[in-house]
Amino acid sequence: MTTVNRRSFLTRSLAGAGTLVASGSVLAQPLLSSPKTALLAPTGKRRVVIAGGGWGGLSAAKHLRALAPDLEVIVLEKNPIFWSCPMSNKWLVNAVDTDLLAHSYIIPAKKYGYTFVQTEITDIDRSAKTVYTSDGFIKYDWLIIAGGIRYAFEAWFGNDQKTTQYTKTNYASAYIPSSEHAFLKNKIQNFKGGTIVMTLPPPPHRCPPSPYERACLMAWWFKEKKIPAKIIILDPKPRIAPITIGYQKAFTELYSDIITHVPNATVKEVDPYNKIVKTAAGDFKFDEAILMSPHQAADLVWKADLIGKDKAGKPTGWAAVDPQYYNTESDPQVFVIGDSVGSVSIHFGHYPKSGHVANREARLVAKYIAAQAKGVEPKAEMIDNLCFMLVNNSPKEAISVSFSYTMGPDDEILQKAIDDNDRRPELWAEDLKWLGGMYGDFL
């Protein structure tokens, strides 16, 4: 007989009273469970656990089911609905509807025949091939970690949790799928005027061109609504990048009275209480702010002990995995994909941290796992990247950047980036087509 003590009951109630399990056939879950309970009963099949159901995780799940139908595929995700960060800047100013961003997790799970479990992953023990969640543990044969990014507020505030929480709550950056997006939308749409400061994270960070897109769309909103607003972009880089000229033209031709871009503005100190950011390019007072801390690989990568070390032995903050196979030599059945992946080449460092790249890596890793499952040597393939950014909302005009990758003679990956700086409505149409293609690949 199972006994339930008060602590495990409380843990269970607080952590996941509404645990949702969806698959080709919906599985019954015990009402009460604890981290010591098996999350799902074994099925006798070899199992792939996917930690994180964002752009990378859902793409991997769909392609694995197609390429390796004999494997059981389970997605573990803490959020109740899929929320897309791509297109979210447009949503902040009503350029697109909520329907474009928010999607059920159950529909793709049923459509492609994998199991979706809404639960929070609390630990990963690679030596025991086990993932621990707020609702029980689960064993895996293969593990794909697709947890996205974490905000590294400790770079600004050390262990000061009070200031970290204050900053997250009052000056949320909305760079992780969460309720921050709705908070930020409300803030922008109710802004009455004054100075908004945006701190950009130092590279590498999630979606490098997107903070500039956000500035453009906010400026468009304030212009339309005749709100006397100034937006100051504090950029640690020496210049806007990528799509340098396209953004420079948008800033000067469309929003010169609203947007100021400050280069070399590495953050030295943030005082959210007195509303001041001190940078290498000067001190900036604000009425409102979007305070983007530095980014790092998701907590899940730290839990799995897969963070790389630099030459001095310091953590790089990003996953140390093979640049083409996304696993490690010592643990070839554990993969990291998406934004958490660390530097892949001495020539350019990280792949751009985009949904497109996460999808491409997911598709490759699904192929690699399918090959491993058949006992075949997987063959490495290259990815690509494509990104559209809306800089004007009336008329809708976008700019874009595309990336291609080849293997160099020194066995290091080479990157070629092409900016399309000429803002025009056709690129917005292309953006929607791109999104349709991506969603069609995993939702």
Ligand X SMILES: Cc1cc2nc3c(=O)[nH]c(=O)nc-3n(C[C@H](O)[C@H](O)[C@H](O)COP(=O)(O)OP(=O)(O)OC[C@H]3O[C@@H](n4cnc5c(N)ncnc54)[C@H](O)[C@@H]3O)c2cc1C
Q: Which of 91, 156, 157, 175 binds ligand X (CB under 6 A)?
A: 175
Provide, rounded to whole angstroms, the least separation between the CB of residue 58 and ligand X: 8
Looking at the chain, the number of H-run helices and the number of E-run strands are: 12, 25
Contact between 156 and ligand X by CB under 6 A: the answer reads no
Which CB sits closer to ligand X, 37 or 278?
A: 37
Provide, rounded to whole angstroms, the least separation between the CB of residue 383 and ligand X: 12
Here the tokens at position 255 are 């929003």
DSSP state at residue 381: -
Which CB sits closer to ligand X, 57 or 204?
A: 57
- What burial letters (b/e) apply to 246-263, b meaning 16+ CB within 10 Å? bbebbbeebbeebbbbbe
Contact between 167 and ligand X by CB under 6 A: the answer reads no
Tell me the window of 18-26, 82-90, 249-257, 261-269 that interacts with ligand X (CB under 6 A).
82-90
The residues with which 416 forms a beta bridge, in sequence order, are: 404
Tell me the window of 158-166, 252-260, 262-270, 354-362 that interacts with ligand X (CB under 6 A).
354-362
Provide, rounded to whole angstroms, the least separation between the CB of residue 338 and ligand X: 2
Q: Which of 168, 187, 353, 363 binds ligand X (CB under 6 A)?
A: 353
Total residues at interface with ligand X (CB under 6 A):
34
Give the separation between CA 399 and CA 419, rounded to whole angstroms: 8
Which CB sits closer to ligand X, 120 or 331?
A: 120
Contact between 420 and ligand X by CB under 6 A: the answer reads no
Q: Which of 23, 33, 210, 393 binds ligand X (CB under 6 A)?
A: 210
Q: Which of 39, 144, 215, 300 binds ligand X (CB under 6 A)?
A: 300
Rounded to 5 degrees, φ, ψ at 333 are -100, 10
Give the separation between CA 352 and CA 344, rounded to whole angstroms: 11
Contact between 301 and ligand X by CB under 6 A: the answer reads no
Nearest residue to ligand X by CB is 54
Kindly report each contact of residues 218-221 with a partner whose C-beta sits within 8 Å and lies 24 or more positions away, as own/partner: 218/92, 218/93, 218/188, 219/254, 219/255, 219/258, 219/259, 220/93, 220/254, 220/255, 220/392, 220/393, 220/394, 221/92, 221/93, 221/188, 221/189, 221/393
- C-beta of residue 271 within 8 angstroms of C-beta of residue 170: no
Provide, rounded to whole angstroms, the least separation between the CB of residue 341 and ligand X: 8
Strands (DSSP E) found in 106-206: 115-118, 121-125, 130-133, 136-139, 142-145, 149-151, 194-199
Contact between 136 and ligand X by CB under 6 A: the answer reads no
Helix, strand or coil, per DSSP, at residue 427: helix
Tell me the window of 222-230, 242-250, 271-279, 355-363 that interacts with ligand X (CB under 6 A).
355-363
Binding site for ligand X (CB under 6 A): 52-57, 76-79, 85-86, 88-89, 120-121, 146-148, 175, 177, 206-207, 210, 298, 300, 338-339, 353-356, 358, 387
